[in-house]
Amino acid sequence: MGAAIGLPRRGDWVRGWSILLVSPRVVPTSARPPSDSPTGGMQRVDLFEYQGKQFFASFGIPVSAGDAVTDVDEAVAVAERIGYPVVVKAQVQVGGRGKAGGIKLANDADEVRTHAGDILGMDIKGHTVEIVWIEVASDIAEEYYASFTLDRSAKKHLGMLSAEGGVEIEAVAETNPDAIAKIWVDPIDGLTEAVAREWVAAANLNPEATEGAVDILQKLYTAYVDGDADLVEINPLILTPDGRVHALDAKVTLDGNSTFRHADYEQYEATQVRDERETEAFEKGLQYVGLDGYVGVIANGAGLAMSTVDIVNQVGGKPANFLDIGGGANADVMAGALEVITNDPNVRSIFINIFGGITKGEEVANGIVTAMERVEIDVPIVIRLDGTNADQGREILQPHLGDKLVMESTMVSAAEKAVALAGN
């Protein structure tokens, strides 16, 4: 993605940060809707492909007929009903299923049986396949890419369209950025047919695809806005040999804050696969992203938190998380952060990196001391405290220092200490 846009992606699913390209260790939680966060927000809702296609179809976007099933016999029954050839598709919330062997063409019942049997239970990038989607196979003449997401800095909706679909759009952005036609849609204006037509022309789609693409892009925009989505992506959007344009894949992230407007979104919330650590942090109002290392990280400010993650990596360690406690480092916030981090069984040391600004050093130090009294912590903590009133803060921490609480004066030495204490 061009640096100017910074499409917010985390792994394959949209997130607040563009920098954290991490694959989370996903822990399935019980099928309950997410609870309200103290910040008043709700977690995003990621749809499986089959749900995304249902969502698209409800806005009139053409998708292939099919059904989602959880066992081989059901898969065969669906194929018999919809007719051969069919495509057996792994339902996991991660891209690149095709390359991973999670998408197979089947010409008869035996092939459906074989492929569904192979794909169900398959592990794709840490996601276990529990559902397969069986759909009528399509003939493909060309594969395109289309999406809408929010460009926060522009305060507009960003549409991306490319004649080079079927591959990861990040790869296209890197090797051939000109092949992606972008438009910024003012939410007040919406996407007019004339603009959609210009956009399609700019993307150099096959002229045969023009009418179908213009129609689908307008419907996709409506789905994105009226459906309260944060992301809608079709990759590939196909042109068939007989000139039809059609969504062959669907990636949709809904805005969790909008579910009160959509009674039918309950079904999507019920199937959410969430990282337990992220849910706990979310409920505490913390900006947290789970990573797969062993050094717990707490910092104030997103920039410092990212640098802290980077520096742990740089000194040869592995961060267990990204956690920004924001401006207020009081005892409640610090205790919440320490709880989330110590609940992660992989954490073997904690690195607290605070730069006092509006929150002064002594407040931070008092917050840490009180939090440590409230939360049972079995792993060593390394603190680096700098900025406003850092000296006073360090003085407060001094009597508490020992095996369990270590202070370092620089970010690098603190990171090294935290990694060493983790036993690596």
Q: Does 236 bind ligand GDP (CB under 6 A)?
A: yes
Distance in Å, CB of 145 to ligand GDP, minimum? 10
Nearest CA among 259, 422, 407 for reference residue 350: 422
Give the side-chain half-sphere CA count within 13 A for 35: 12
Stretch that binds ligand GDP, among 97-105, 257-265, 284-292, 398-406 (CB under 6 A): 97-105
Q: Which residue among 103, 169, 411, 415 contacts ligand GDP (CB under 6 A)?
A: 103
Q: Does residue 321 interact with Mn ion by CB under 5 A?
A: no
Give φ, ψ of 123 to 5 degrees: -100, 120
Taking the complex as a whole, the smallest distance from the CB of residue 57 to ligand GDP amounts, in Å, to 16
Quickly count: other Cβ atoms within 10 Å of residue 209's Cβ. Answer: 23
* 249 contributes a contact to ligand GDP by CB under 6 A: yes
138 makes contact, choosing from Mn ion, ligand GDP, none, with CB < 5 to 8 Å by partner type, with ligand GDP
Q: Spell out the residues 6+ positions from residue 244 whose beta carbon is closer than 8 angstroms to its own.
A: 62, 212
233 is a catalytic site residue: yes
Q: Which two tokens stand for residue 408?
A: 């370092």
- Of these residues, 111, 142, 233, 416, which one is catalytic? 233
CA 392 – CA 376 distance, rounded (Å): 25
- Binding partner of 78, given ligand GDP, Mn ion, none, CB within 5-8 angstroms per partner class: none
361 contacts ligand GDP (rule: CB under 6 A): no
Contact between 96 and ligand GDP by CB under 6 A: the answer reads yes
**Contact indicator for 297, 322 with CB cutoff of 8 Å:** yes
Q: Choosing from 50, 144, 145, 221, which is the catalytic residue? A: 145
CA–CA separation, 258 and 72 (whole Å): 36
The widest CA-to-CA distance across the chain, in whole angstroms, is: 78
Q: How far is 252 from 230, CA to CA, in rounded Å?
A: 8
Among 235, 272, 308, 321, binds Mn ion (CB under 5 A): 235
Point out the residues that are catalytic: 145, 233
* Site residues (vs ligand GDP, CB under 6 A): 87, 95-98, 103, 137-138, 140, 143, 166, 235-236, 248-249
* Site residues (vs Mn ion, CB under 5 A): 235, 249
